Amino acid sequence: MTQPTAFSAAGDTTAPEWWRSAVIYQIYPRSFADANGDGVGDLAGIASRMDALENLGVDAVWLSPFMRSPQKDAGYDVTDYMSVDPLFGTIDDFDAMLASAHQRGIKVIVDLVPNHSSDTHEWFIEALAAAPGSPERGRYLFRDGKGENGELPPNNWESVFGGPAWTRTTNPDGTPGEWFLHLFDSTQPDFDWTNPEVREMFRGVLRFWLDRGVDGFRVDVAHGMIKAEGLPDYTPNPGGGSMGGDDFEVPYWGQEGVHEIYRDWHKVLAEYEGDRVLAAEAWINPLSKMAKWVRPDEMHQAFNFPYLETAWDAQALRPVIDESLEAFGAVGAPATWVLSNHDVVRHASRLALTAENPQGHGIGPKSPGQPMREVGLQRARAASAFMLALPGGAYMYQGEELGLPEVINLPDEARQDPTWFRTNGERYGRDGCRVPLPWEPGTTAYGFNTTGEAWLPQPDDWDDYSRAAQQGVAGSTLTMYTTALELRKRLDLGLGSVTWVEDLPDTVIGFRNGDVIVLGNTATTDWEIPAELAELPVLLASTTIAGNILPGDATIWLQA
Ligand code: NOJ
């Protein structure tokens, strides 16, 4: 076979509706790069490493929250939506980071957390100080308890992080008062989105960031803002993931009323020049229902979690890809693809787990079905190479281009995810995918900073995963991603289509997109590529290819 070819194409990120084919890289600011050395990454750190993202070839970055917050849920608990937390820098640092991204043609998407605020938000402080029934309380969901003295929560809803979704307040005279709803931690009270004041406040938040020049928003819990009338009891499906996804009606997920909010936001974005994007984090099944979030007058993209939750298995992948293309295509939206983010076990470990692991639960030293690292890495590389050839938007999570595994052996005392505390350690939570990135081998904190501080401890054996150790090295995971992104752009795969290659064994999946034929072997054993395909030039391979053999857990791109 002929060897992989490298292209050096500069893509056009100024194209209209750039997001239809974009590769969007998630930056988790706490763990990306730490300029001031306090152990938590920051905006200046991101700006200082922008070259690496340009070299990788991403079209856009999405930043997880960096707004003022007590960090009870790593910034998904916002005190002030129009600010930068001093932990991450200043608003000037934000502007500088944005400018440095834009200079390189990289778009910037910020995270918006509209379902709930922090309990330190001035509105919640005012609400607690005000009387039941007051306008201040009306911005959140306060209710009387059940039982003779209101001692029972208003309904039986459970927090996504474990435990009840209600916390009781204390009146100024010390007596127990009303309860407030928090679908997540008790420090994250849910807004009442039927209140026009809440809607107006968030229009202002959108405009604040759009005025600064951001290219869009990733919308947190975009399926949760409206609750069913009367807040009826609901008992979740015991096998289900934590963030929704049930096929049947849940009174706090996927209520029809949320769509009105996105139609309104769509209009706000349309007031601005250029194509700005709204990306929904909506854990909704089936995909045909999720596609409602991206109807032409609503949001632009929705994370494809059913794809993320699919095993590396030819028989499972084909139907979810067909369903995605059909469901998103039916509303005129691009499909999206994602394998990792800051809420799930990194796919270099997840794809090799041998036991069930519901979303959000995480893995730790005592979890069953521990992954084998080498198997996980090979599978992750194969799955990523496969995903990056699909048409539509592709989301990456920082570190996956390095093949980073989940950090399983974090000491208990280092864990910070509220899930860990709210379940008394029964669920490890999400810290294992959030450990600060390795940049250089053999240096303090692997170059994350120069002080050696790290808000979560980095493992001792990460030298080989570091970016500098992989940069320009043939066969490294970073080189594979860089080549895949170059080819994807050069050959316009993001705007292409899928035609399945038929008559393959059950464990092999293949499709043609434009001039590229992609073959994935999801078995653990070799597969002999048929002669008519084997003679085609190889553009990309997730592993070393010898002769006509596609090894197990491998993907290859062939020039058709
Ligand atoms: C989804 C975010 O991705 C997650 O990290 C966060 O904990 C919850 N929403 C609550 O905001």
pLDDT band at residue 71 using 50, 70 and 90 as cut-offs: very high
Distance between CA atoms of residues 393 and 24, nearest Å = 7
Q: Return all residues near 249 (Cβ < 8 A) that are at least 6 apart.
A: 228
Task: Identify whether 286 is preceded by a cis peptide bond (ω within 30 of 0).
Answer: yes
Domain ranges of the chain: 17-115+195-470, 122-181
> Dmax over Cα atoms in the chain, in whole Å?
83
Structure token digits, residue 109: 């998407």
At 249 the pLDDT is 82
Structure token digits, residue 439: 């940049």
Structure token digits, residue 520: 């994935």
517 beta partners? 512, 558
Q: Is 73 in the pocket of ligand 1 (CB under 6 A)?
A: yes
What Å distances lie between residue 531 and 323, 503, 507, 535, 546, CA to CA? 31, 14, 18, 6, 14
Average pLDDT (330-334) is 98
pLDDT band at residue 3 using 50, 70 and 90 as cut-offs: very low
pLDDT exceeds 70 at position 11: no
At 80 the pLDDT is 98
At 235 the pLDDT is 81
Q: Return all residues near 492 (Cβ < 8 A) that are at least 6 apart.
A: 21, 514
At 359 the pLDDT is 87
Q: Ligand 1: which atom is nearest the Cα of residue 116? A: 11
pLDDT exceeds 70 at position 455: yes
How many helical (H) and strand (E) elements, i.e. helices and strands, does the chain have? 15, 18
Counted residue by residue, the chain has a size of 560
pLDDT exceeds 80 at position 549: yes
Question: Measuring from atom 10 of ligand 1, which residue has the nearest CA?
Answer: 76
Asked whether 348 and 400 are in contact (CB, 8 A), the reply is yes
User: If we measure between CA atoms, which residue out of 369, 245, 258 comes closest to residue 307?
Assistant: 245
User: If we measure between CA atoms, which residue out of 170, 185, 63 comes closest to residue 116?
Assistant: 185
Q: Which ranges in 331-438 belong to alpha helices (H)?
A: 347-350, 373-387, 418-422
Q: Residue 457, exposed/middle/buried by CB under 10 A (0-12, 13-18, 19+)? A: middle
Average pLDDT (457-470) is 98
271 catalytically annotated: yes
Residue among 69, 72, 73 whose CB has most ligand 1 atoms within 8 A, to mutate: 73
Question: Measuring from atom 4 of ligand 1, which residue has the nearest CA?
Answer: 343
pLDDT band at residue 248 using 50, 70 and 90 as cut-offs: low
**Phi/psi at 500 (nearest 5 deg)?**
-70, 140
Asked whether 466 and 445 are in contact (CB, 8 A), the reply is no
User: If we measure between CA atoms, which residue out of 374, 367, 364, 370 comes closest to residue 350?
Assistant: 370
Q: Is 34 in the pocket of ligand 1 (CB under 6 A)?
A: no
What b/e string do you get for 37-49 counting C-beta neighbours within 10 Å, with b at 16 or more? bebbbbbbbbbbb
Structure token digits, residue 535: 């003679």
Q: Residue 349, Cα to own-chain centre: how many angstroms?
A: 16
Residue carrying the six token digits 């787990």: 353
Distance between CA atoms of residues 349 and 355, nearest Å = 12
**Mean pLDDT, rounded, of the chain:** 95
Question: Measuring from atom 3 of ligand 1, which residue has the nearest CA?
Answer: 343
Q: What angle do CA 340, 343, 346 make, to 5 degrees?
A: 40
Strand runs labelled E in 113-244: 142-143, 166-170, 176-181, 216-219
Task: For residue 336, report the distance from its CA to the centre of ligand 1, in Å.
Answer: 19
At 7 the pLDDT is 32
Q: What percent of the chain clears pLDDT 90, i.e. is strictly above it?
A: 94
CA dihedral 358, 364, 370, 371 (to 10 degrees): 80
Distance between CA atoms of residues 108 and 12, nearest Å = 15
Average pLDDT (458-479) is 98
Asked whether 417 and 423 are in contact (CB, 8 A), the reply is no
Residue carrying the six token digits 């653990």: 524
Structure token digits, residue 252: 């706090």
188-243 confidence digits (pLDDT tens):
999 999 999 999 999 999 999 999 999 999 999 999 999 999 999 998 766 555 56
Amino acid at site 65: P
Look up the CATH architecture of domain 122-181: Alpha-Beta Complex (3.90)
CATH of domain 17-115+195-470: 3.20.20.80
Question: Measuring from atom 5 of ligand 1, which residue has the nearest CA?
Answer: 343
Tell whether the torsion through CA atoms of 539, 542, 548 and 553 is positive or negative.
negative
pLDDT exceeds 60 at position 95: yes
Structure token digits, residue 359: 């979303």
Strand runs labelled E in 391-433: 393-397
Distance between CA atoms of residues 503 and 515, nearest Å = 20
At 16 the pLDDT is 87
User: If we measure between CA atoms, which residue out of 325, 375, 198, 278 comes closest to residue 19?
Assistant: 278
CB-CB neighbours of 267 under 10 Å: 11
DSSP letter at 292? G
Terminal Cα-to-Cα distance of the chain (whole angstroms): 13
At 6 the pLDDT is 33
Helix (H/G/I), strand (E/B), else coil: 514: coil
Q: Is 220 in the pocket of ligand 1 (CB under 6 A)?
A: yes
Q: Is 93 in the pocket of ligand 1 (CB under 6 A)?
A: no
Sheet holding 166-170, edge to edge: 142-143, 176-181, 166-170
Average pLDDT (402-407) is 98
What Å distances lie between residue 428 and 169, 344, 372, 423, CA to CA? 29, 11, 19, 9
Distance between CA atoms of residues 337 and 201, nearest Å = 32
Average pLDDT (331-349) is 98
Q: Ligand 1: which atom is nearest the Cα of residue 113? A: 11
CB-CB neighbours of 399 under 10 Å: 24
What DSSP string describes 217-278? EEETTTT-SS--TT-------TTS-TT---SS-BTTBS-TTHHHHHHHHHHHHHTSSS--EE
Distance between CA atoms of residues 498 and 322, nearest Å = 9
Q: Ligand 1: which atom is nearest the Cα of residue 430? A: 5
Task: For residue 41, report the distance from its CA to the centre of ligand 1, in Å.
Answer: 19
Helix (H/G/I), strand (E/B), else coil: 158: strand
Q: Give the active site residue among 220, 401, 486, 553.
A: 220
Q: Return all residues near 181 (Cβ < 8 A) that are at least 6 apart.
A: 140, 141, 143, 154, 157, 165, 166, 189, 190, 227, 231
